[in-house]
């Protein structure tokens, strides 16, 4: 039975992860963290969702949680995630990272931590979205450069980063399919008199509003036809279930930095 801890367990995603851990097979909810001063510190972690006690209390000290569990699931913020990666490397604890907004330096630190433990990182933990990544890469490789690629994403009004980590992941998948560097071809904003669309660019359009969990589309617009790949999330529980699946998968793997494509065998 894999003992799982939830970083930032009092947040919206943290609560989803708690519920999924309580319901999931092969895992046991064994810890959680919250910020110092939170009213949840010292409470039983299962009580956050109104469930019966599991005998594990919420702590403000991440090191305490890492010492007590086999795997930690982290959907917090980049700075906190990198602290958790260091702790995972020190303790050999599995770390599943669903945190968005990670820059190249942060990803490099995750890879470094992966030398001493097992880390699974993905911009989106949904099984369906990771299938969309694979399909996007395949379609981009199959269709020629005369097909313009546009990525459209829509999230709730409270989301703070744009484009979303998933949208950027789709952009990287499309760029990989074409054998190009996304940073060299990404068009992340258009305003005013922009002139015609640049050949080979991958465009991003960002929508924010309401309570949309997450909609993502990749549009391949060619001469006389258009191919569209779309995923729509209606329940954040899909991310929690995917993260737990990743934690269970990593339990039998050697040290390293993995992706959800590794977990799902999509390479």
* Distance, CA of 206 to CA of 10 (rounded, Å): 28
159 is catalytic: yes
Q: Is 11 one of the annotated binding-site residues?
A: yes
Calculate the CA dihedral of residues 62, 63, 64, 67 and round it to 10 degrees. 120
Q: Are 30 and 5 in contact (CB under 8 A)?
A: yes
Q: In 3D, which of 71, 98, 74 has the Cα closest to residue 4?
A: 71
Pull the structure tokens for residue 239: 């991310």
Q: In 3D, which of 134, 107, 7, 24 has the Cα closest to residue 65?
A: 7
Q: Are 34 and 11 in contact (CB under 8 A)?
A: no
Q: Is 76 one of the annotated binding-site residues?
A: no
H-type alpha helices, 92-126: 104-113
Q: Is 1 one of the annotated binding-site residues?
A: no
Q: Is 260 one of the annotated binding-site residues?
A: no
Pairing of strands 148-155, 214-222: antiparallel
Q: Is 165 one of the annotated binding-site residues?
A: yes
Q: Is 117 one of the annotated binding-site residues?
A: no
Q: What is the DSSP letter of 146?
A: T
Q: Is 156 one of the annotated binding-site residues?
A: yes
Q: Is 30 one of the annotated binding-site residues?
A: no
Q: Is 171 one of the annotated binding-site residues?
A: no
* Distance, CA of 81 to CA of 103 (rounded, Å): 12
Q: Is 236 one of the annotated binding-site residues?
A: no
Q: What is the DSSP letter of 44?
A: B
* Distance, CA of 157 to CA of 250 (rounded, Å): 34
Q: Is 52 one of the annotated binding-site residues?
A: yes
SS3 for 64?
helix
Pairing of strands 214-222, 225-233: antiparallel
Q: Is 223 one of the annotated binding-site residues?
A: no
Of residues 3, 84, 154, 159, which has the active-site annotation? 159
Q: Is 65 one of the annotated binding-site residues?
A: no
Tokens 């737990």 label which residue? Answer: 244
155 is catalytic: yes
Of residues 84, 154, 155, 216, which has the active-site annotation? 155
Q: Where in the sequence numbering do the catalytic residues fall? A: 155, 159
Q: From the annotation, which residues make up the binding site for (S)-2,3,4,5-tetrahydrodipicolinate? A: 156, 165-166
Q: From the annotation, which residues make up the binding site? A: 8-13, 52, 98-100, 122-125, 156, 165-166
Q: From the annotation, which residues make up the binding site for NAD(+)? A: 8-13, 52, 98-100, 122-125
């Amino acid at each position: 039975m894999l003992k799982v801890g939830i970083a930032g367990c009092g947040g919206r995603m943290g609560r989803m992860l708690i519920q999924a851990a309580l319901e999931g097979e092969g895992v046991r909810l064994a810890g959680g963290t919250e910020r110092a001063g939170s009213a949840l510190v010292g409470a039983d972690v299962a009580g956050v969702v109104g469930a019966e006690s599991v005998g594990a209390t919420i702590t403000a000290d991440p090191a305490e949680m890492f010492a007590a569990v086999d795997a930690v699931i982290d959907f917090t913020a980049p700075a906190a995630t990198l602290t958790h990666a260091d702790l995972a490397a020190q303790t050999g604890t599995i770390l599943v990272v669903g945190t968005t907004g990670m820059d190249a330096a942060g990803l490099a630190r995750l890879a470094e931590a992966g030398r001493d433990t097992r880390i699974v990182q993905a911009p989106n933990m949904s099984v369906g979205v990771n299938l969309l990544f694979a399909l996007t890469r395949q379609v981009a490789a199959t269709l020629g450069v005369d097909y313009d690629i546009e990525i459209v994403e829509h999230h709730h009004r409270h989301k703070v980063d744009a484009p979303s980590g998933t949208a950027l992941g789709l952009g990287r998948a499309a760029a990989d399919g074409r054998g190009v560097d996304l940073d060299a071809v990404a068009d992340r904003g258009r305003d005013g008199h922009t002139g015609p669309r640049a050949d080979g660019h991958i465009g991003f359009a960002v929508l924010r509003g309401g309570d949309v969990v997450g909609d993502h589309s990749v549009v391949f617009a060619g001469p006389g036809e258009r191919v569209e790949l779309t995923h729509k999330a209606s329940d954040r529980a899909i991310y929690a279930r995917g993260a737990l699946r990743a934690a269970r998968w990593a339990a039998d793997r050697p040290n390293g930095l993995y992706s959800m494509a590794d977990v799902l065998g999509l390479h």
